[in-house]
Structure 1
């Protein structure tokens, strides 16, 4: 892993004020969503689309059994898109994170997990989460469990952090988000991203806490692998907790 924003530091230092802040030169139009934006949006959009599809199919009366297999398909599509665009995710190369930053991310992920399963009062939730029950006839389908945990711990953190932190958090500062360094991220981008991330989840307050923690890691370490690692720890341990306790609604 690397502090990926360093690749913008040299040009910014040598450039004028407009270039240093990621602003576009006078007379040059910057598209609201460029190609770099779309390759970070599409995996996330595909994931969310499958949530809508699952909800529609459930309302149409499709049995829970077949619906459970939508998750492997969803993860497969996201993995395919991430692989297709992988060379364009400059912030993920190389895969390196210093030990202190890695330890901080791991501890943060554990703390977020504890808060996630604790912040569950009625006023802290929106609606009822359908969850993911891997049982078939009362017996756990371990293949589904393995896919669920692998997807949640290995795929979702990469997909979501590319969207929420690397893209949206910097895009709020300027549409040419790849030219925005983490040192330029301010309160506005932090608050908007954290709130949107929080209300994406049924446990909105826990989501806000998690979003704040992951965003602070990103801003502190200037390395996207830091929030990815924390996010992976939270999701992976949550899967273990769900299996042990049987609280399927947290999935």
Structure 2
């Protein structure tokens, strides 16, 4: 049964996917990647707006009282480990499709506004949006349609594996995505708070973004 409780967690993710498909379609119709660089800002603004408008529905985002320092330390370390895996699991057979990437340069000059938008979106908006969908909703919903009643610690192997595999298939670096999906799943199950995988995911994306800008490996975006 798909009611508003489900929709609140699907809608921001769905909006994000819609803009990805829109970009892909426009590129196939002959648009240049440079002409679409501001589309990311629109995408993140729409997703952030949806998350804000529906914020009262996200009971899983209530701050966990009594969460230990160890919980946050483990999440940050896990995020760093996923980052290391992400930039190394890049052999041909580990890559699916042709990633477009995101190049914020104009005539070899970096547009720092575009970089700032990309970093903020990747580190602050995307982790919340994706963890609400993948971990809080989908992984628990596979276990039981009334997913809010499912204790993360009790999620079954079937739901764990399906979620990790689908998360992998949503990324061109599918093996790195699989590794990340497994790590984020485990963090949610072990900690019991969605803020743990959110923090790990944010750490991964933030460090990845800084690394991309520092090294010029724009294809990773």
Corresponding residue number in structure 1 for 2:61: 92
- Give me the whole-angstrom Cα distance separating, in 2, the residues matched to 1:95 and 1:128: 40
TM-superposed CA distance for 1:181, in Å, is 1.1
Q: Which has the larger radius of gyration?
A: 1
- Give me the whole-angstrom Cα distance separating, in 2, the residues matched to 1:95 and 1:234: 22
- Give me the whole-angstrom Cα distance separating, in 2, the residues matched to 1:54 and 1:120: 24
Residue number among 56, 80, 100 corresponding to 1:110 in the alignment: 80
- Give me the whole-angstrom Cα distance separating, in 1, the residues matched to 2:155 and 2:33: 43
Contact 2:154–2:189, Cα closer than 8 Å, also in 1:
no
Corresponding residue number in structure 1 for 2:41: 72
- Give me the whole-angstrom Cα distance separating, in 1, the residues matched to 2:153 and 2:62: 19
Corresponding residue number in structure 2 for 1:228: 198
Give the stretch that moved more between structures: 64-73 or 216-225.
64-73
Corresponding residue number in structure 2 for 1:164: 134
Residue number among 166, 181, 203 corresponding to 2:173 in the alignment: 203
CA-to-aligned-CA distance 1:166-202 (integer Å, 9 cap, x gap): 0000000111111111132010110000000011000
- Give me the whole-angstrom Cα distance separating, in 1, the residues matched to 2:96 and 2:46: 28
- Give me the whole-angstrom Cα distance separating, in 1, the residues matched to 2:13 and 2:46: 10
Contact 2:64–2:193, Cα closer than 8 Å, also in 1:
no
Q: 5+ residue gaps in structure 1?
A: 1-30
Q: How high is the TM-score relative to the length of structure 2?
A: 0.97
TM-superposed CA distance for 1:34, in Å, is 2.0
- Give me the whole-angstrom Cα distance separating, in 1, the residues matched to 2:80 and 2:182: 14
Matched, 1:153 2:123: yes
- Give me the whole-angstrom Cα distance separating, in 2, the residues matched to 1:202 and 1:213: 18
Matched, 1:42 2:42: no
Query: What SS does structure 2 have at the residue aligned with 1:217?
Result: helix
CA-to-aligned-CA distance 1:198-251 (integer Å, 9 cap, x gap): 110000000000000000000000000000000000000000110111110100
Q: 5+ residue gaps in structure 2?
A: none
Question: Which is richer in helix?
Answer: 2
- Give me the whole-angstrom Cα distance separating, in 2, the residues matched to 1:94 and 1:107: 20
Q: How high is the TM-score relative to the length of structure 1?
A: 0.86
CA-to-aligned-CA distance 1:74-132 (integer Å, 9 cap, x gap): 00000000001100000101266421000000000000000000000001010110000
